[in-house]
Structure 1
């Protein structure tokens, strides 16, 4: 049997590297672990961590195709991050010019959650734990 241990990272390809780098570091608060420009591929690779855990591998590539997001496209639907308080997280995002959807309640757990999008319209969920 395959013995997976954990999710190692999430890879994201962005269309505007400086804008996405700023979004994930300054708005979401990820730390930069390593940033490399790969000249042969005309591409940046940015390794981002949260609370000491490597989470996101952000890539830039020349002219990536647009991501099908809505209506619900087949494939990876969204990424989700846990927060202690959804309303406080929304207030912080609002102060930074990001306006999430109205808060919803998970019908199975009773927990609060909301969605917003990154600069390339990748859906991001905040889930209260």
Structure 2
């Protein structure tokens, strides 16, 4: 019997007349394009001293992402109209303000703007 058997990590086995011969093919990298814009919950949360904020974008777009205190005052801009390719991306906030000074413990808001899409989430800095 002749045939093929697919294995993991791009390994394919070809059977011919009862003997097996392995043929290794290069792995194919897949890029997953999100179907929508999305701001994900930061992690870790609560955090100290830094946290990661992920977002998904469906097409190459300028992205603004900023941190605000609970009263709505701007604390830190992580991305200001920077053009990002479609996909999932991450930025890190180190708990510092625009002047590179550490901010106090508390609840902070992070807000993303992509085209006409805007979303805000909360994070908690505990020292």
The TM-score with structure 1 as length reference comes to: 0.26
Larger radius of gyration: 2
Higher helix share: 1
